[in-house]
Amino acid sequence: MSAIFLRTSAKIFLSIFLIISNGVSYIFSIEQPNGKLICSLGNAHGTDTVTAIEICKNNNSKFRTIGRDGNVKKWRLNFNEEVDKGKSSLELISFSKLNFEWPCEFIQNFRGRSLIAGFQNNYFVLFDETTNSIVCRKYLVGGGKRLWQLWMKNFLDNDQICLFYAQKGSFDCDVLNPLFLNFVKQIPHSENITALDFLTKDENNFFILSGSLDRKIVCSNFNKNQEFKINSSVQMHRSSVETICVLQENSNFLVLSGGGRSQVFCWELIFEEQNLQPQFNLLFSTELKNENNIDDIRVLCVRWIFGRRQFAVALCSDATIRILQLNYLTKSIVESSRFQFCSMAMFSSINLAGLIEESSQFLFSTTTSGYLFIFKLLILPNGTTKIVRK
């Protein structure tokens, strides 16, 4: 049995006694200090055990319970000082179903959040009620039958949770590092987002570039105060935007975007002084043709290479990887080299190695047949490029 004491007025103190039987039934018993019973409730969570209770902050007439049934229930004590007339009662205000099987402990005000600890299959989990997400897991805590006693009141200085539990005659301590997520409520697109890339303007502002099936490219801002704002957008693609890539050169930001109808666009993202609402300036664009000179392919992925604004690599839906050269004087994009897969399989992804030599860079690509290819991208003495399979 455990008890929680609360005050409902200047004069009246109540005790909530939590009685757990050997079975699964559970009873609330709310009494005055003189022992007079005000109200009681059996089977608060059906036939399952109630595992914890939490008094609502700034409102002592309300409290929450969690149970073995996986529900969180909120109650109100409709208190009337004429208790002898039996006018006090418990009222169920709301309940919600958690997405894990065995909640067992409330954790109040950890980094300003409300957490619930419990079990999901063989994992101990921490659940963030604010974002409705599991923020921490630990495998095989609690033993096979989960015979445990849990204390989670010791918060460390470095935002870790110190978890103490006893099981099968042993005593253990674990330090948990929850990963918290802040979900953005605003919606920058009307259809599925298909491409993302990021840039940092300064230490206080972080920008997100997103492309979508709605054919738009949107620039959004996320600052150090965790405020999210949609800044600007552009819609020049005739079909869905499949890929976006940002290159930062000093204070300049260049953006490549590709998608359906064989289209590739090169943009400059312009920030005016002290203005955090950048504008898209179209530099030039092109349509990549297939071997039959038909522009019916999709540009699945495009990346800057060699860390320079003159070169990029593109993965296309016709099973080709192409090196592109960008000429800012003639405002053109020219294909200088390509590699085509000679089978029914296709390239499914590309990724660049971080190490860039003076005139070469390695490119990794996977295929739909399960192979990994490694290519070496070269800048030749005459200024052209070449792709070599390793």
Strand partners of residue 139: 123
**Predicted TM-score of the model (pTM):** 0.56
Other Cβ atoms closer than 10 A to 210: 21
What is the rounded distance in angstroms from the CA atom of residue 281 to the CA atom of residue 278? 10
Superfamily in which the 193-389 domain is placed by CATH: YVTN repeat-like/Quinoprotein amine dehydrogenase (2.130.10.10)
Closest to 317 in 3D by CA, of 284, 285, 294, 351: 294
Domain boundaries defined on the chain: 2-176, 193-389
Token representation of residue 288:
């990549």
Determine the number of helices (DSSP H) and then strands (DSSP E) in the chain: 0, 31
If you classify domain 2-176 with CATH, what class do you get?
mainly beta
Predicted confidence (pLDDT) per residue in 38-50, tens digit: 566 667 777 677 7
Predicted confidence (pLDDT) per residue in 172-209, tens digit: 666 666 666 555 656 777 788 888 888 887 777 788 88
Predicted confidence (pLDDT) per residue in 225-280, tens digit: 777 778 888 888 888 888 999 888 777 888 999 888 888 899 888 887 666 678 88
| pLDDT the model gives residue 235 | 87
Same fold, 2-176 and 193-389: yes
